[in-house]
Amino acid sequence: MNTPQAADQKSSSSLVTTTRVLAVGSLLGLIILGLAWELVLAPLRPGGSWIALKVLPLCVPLAGLLKNRMYTYRWVSLMVWLYFTEGVVRAYSDKAPGNYLAMIEVVLCLALFVACALHVRLRLKNVVKES
């Protein structure tokens, strides 16, 4: 049957999937950007920099996002602000191309935050509806 509830649930389910894909994609983007930035594109030292290790904390929540764990979405939405802050500071203090890479980092952080926040909100909304 095509009831309004079924259509609403299908729409909500597709939004949850979209936010999940956006969250995982932007997290992977941050990991790849961080490595490429510090090792190849604009390293602080020729040959790479130890600052590339900043991506290690981003690798921890990847498994939780892939397993669709609600708790991971919640704490990633808080952790991402550390990387956002780094991006804003380096966007204003670094020279090109580092400042452009920092702006990309800021955009990826905002996308990750929005995706995580919406994902949690939509999933909680679905839980309340089902009860």
Query: Does any domain span residue 109?
Result: yes
Q: What is the DSSP letter of 52?
A: G
Task: Give the model's pLDDT for residue 6.
Answer: 56
What gap in Å lies between CA 115 and CA 80, rounded to an integer? 12
More confident residue, 122 or 47: 122
- The reported pTM is 0.89
Identify the domain containing residue 89 by its residue range: 21-130
Query: Does any domain span residue 51?
Result: yes
Task: Give the model's pLDDT for residue 8.
Answer: 57
* Contact (CB, 8 A) for 64 and 72: yes
pLDDT grade for 10, boundaries at 50, 70 and 90: low
The pair of structure tokens assigned to 36 is 């490429």
Q: What is the DSSP letter of 45?
A: S
Query: Does any domain span residue 26?
Result: yes
Query: Does any domain span residue 12?
Result: no
Query: Does any domain span residue 4?
Result: no
Query: Does any domain span residue 2?
Result: no
Residues 96-118, mean pLDDT to the nearest whole number: 97
Query: Does any domain span residue 55?
Result: yes
Query: Does any domain span residue 43?
Result: yes
Amino acid (1-letter code) at residue 80: V
What gap in Å lies between CA 124 and CA 116, rounded to an integer? 12
For residue 108, with 0-12 CB atoms within 10 Å meaning exposed, 13-18 middle and 19 or more buried, which class applies? Answer: buried
Into how many domains does the chain fold?
1
**Angle ∠(68,71,74) on CA atoms, nearest 5:** 105
56-95: pLDDT as tens digits: 999 999 999 999 999 999 999 999 999 999 999 999 999 9
Residues 104-118, mean pLDDT to the nearest whole number: 98
Is the per-residue pLDDT at 52 higher than 80?
yes
